[in-house]
Structure 1
């Protein structure tokens, strides 16, 4: 399927929705999207419990839930989970994966959820913030639907700016392929999807990269308090590296990836 033509009447938000709808069929094939080992699952559980504690029946909203990976993790830990995504093909896969579990998946927009005020104990999302068109409005919305004392946990990264070490690793990877010592690693996107991805990335709010400090500052302005930036993602990255191939596995641990916890007082 071709992406929207340049100059079409698609809005940026509609392009983002269409892009992730197209990605749904192969989304779970990528390490870093789906979980491929019990070590990684345990590492994600550890991160969630570190910042949110055990679920104990508390209500949790997984925004941009995709194929339900994080929703399943939250359910494992005893949260009463609702997953929300605006790409129906993602939701179809999430519902299939969650059969037999008490997870609700619904179609909705993470920037305008239409959920009631003071409704959720926890909001969680993974790799959503970098795609937001208006993060200030989104954060105000998330504050509105959280209960007083409720927490948000954002897991994201700067997927624009590479570190010097990552660039060095990429050079080694390119050289290794040219010399015939390595082959392209993991699933590659089609040229059309790569072009669409780059076009979207160039126009979202964090087009220059979603740095943790910039995200935290917008959360403060929205009214969140007690903000913690956690860049210790080593356990998750080590588990993912085993399925990424040598060079991408090495690069993963050098990237600016993080979790941010914030509270509505």
Structure 2
């Protein structure tokens, strides 16, 4: 959590009670982080079981059930939007980014953390092959079925995400790959194989802004 806080402070600055939307909030871990930083947090997710866990964990945070690609929130209603590991799953990221842009106030900020979780180095592929089990193979088939339906079926590379953000009207777009502190902290819990795979992946944070004159 400390490593994530450093990343969020680096891009978002002081919270000062700003209204923040945690897009695809899941069980509320990022919402909890942002609340601790001093933001006024709203979480949004499609899965009601996830939302139930988040509400139990964070009773003072508002959680909404909605589609991240079409959140249907009022225009200019949020100062900040954050999301983690959502973009690579989007079917229509262009529509999502346009909706997020409308939701932000002029001068509002977007911070997304994501990566290419599809491409694998040769060494990682070998490790996965020798560690395969019937359950792992079923999960792989399920994973491939999902990938066939999303926009970034070949992996969400930062350059492609940046191009779509710019097309949606975002500016001051910055790609940050300084995630080593997060990877080190996670490695203590994941074991060496998963930790190695994470370090080999193309992972990044992208910050962007809506023009203040809009």
Q: Answer yes or no: same fold by TM over 0.5.
A: yes
How many residue pairs match? The answer is 210
User: Closer, same or farther in 2 for the Cα pair 1:196/1:250, shift >3 Å?
Assistant: closer
In the TM superposition, residue 250 of structure 1 has moved relative to its aligned partner by 1.9
Q: Does 1:72 align with 2:72?
A: no
In the TM superposition, residue 172 of structure 1 has moved relative to its aligned partner by 5.2
Q: After alignment, is 207-216 or 194-203 more displaced? A: 194-203
Give the alignment's TM-score, normalised by structure 2. Answer: 0.92
Which of 63, 67, 87 is residue 129 of structure 1 equivalent to? 87
Which of 96, 100, 116 is residue 138 of structure 1 equivalent to? 96
Alignment of 1:26-41 (within 5 A): 41=1
The equivalent residue for 2:51 is 91
* 1:95-128 deviation per Cα after TM superposition (whole angstroms, max 9, x unaligned): 11113xx211111111111111111000000011
Give unmatched runs, 5+ long, in structure 2: none
In the TM superposition, residue 247 of structure 1 has moved relative to its aligned partner by 1.6
In the TM superposition, residue 197 of structure 1 has moved relative to its aligned partner by 2.6
Which of 154, 173, 176 is residue 230 of structure 1 equivalent to? 176
Q: Does 1:149 align with 2:111?
A: no
The equivalent residue for 1:168 is 123
Does the Cα contact within 8 Å between 1:238 and 1:253 map onto a contact in 2? no
User: Closer, same or farther in 2 for the Cα pair 1:213/1:95, shift >3 Å?
Assistant: same
| Structural RMSD (CA) | 1.9
Taking the aligned partners of 1:68 and 1:132, their CA distance within structure 2 comes to: 20
Taking the aligned partners of 1:210 and 1:173, their CA distance within structure 2 comes to: 21
* 1:14-54 deviation per Cα after TM superposition (whole angstroms, max 9, x unaligned): xxxxxxxxxxxxxxxxxxxxxxxxxxx00000000000012
Taking the aligned partners of 2:154 and 2:203, their CA distance within structure 1 comes to: 15
In the TM superposition, residue 189 of structure 1 has moved relative to its aligned partner by 6.4
Give the alignment's TM-score, normalised by structure 1. Answer: 0.75
* 1:70-119 deviation per Cα after TM superposition (whole angstroms, max 9, x unaligned): 101100100000000011011011111113xx211111111111111111
Taking the aligned partners of 1:55 and 1:44, their CA distance within structure 2 comes to: 15
The equivalent residue for 1:44 is 4
Taking the aligned partners of 2:69 and 2:21, their CA distance within structure 1 comes to: 13
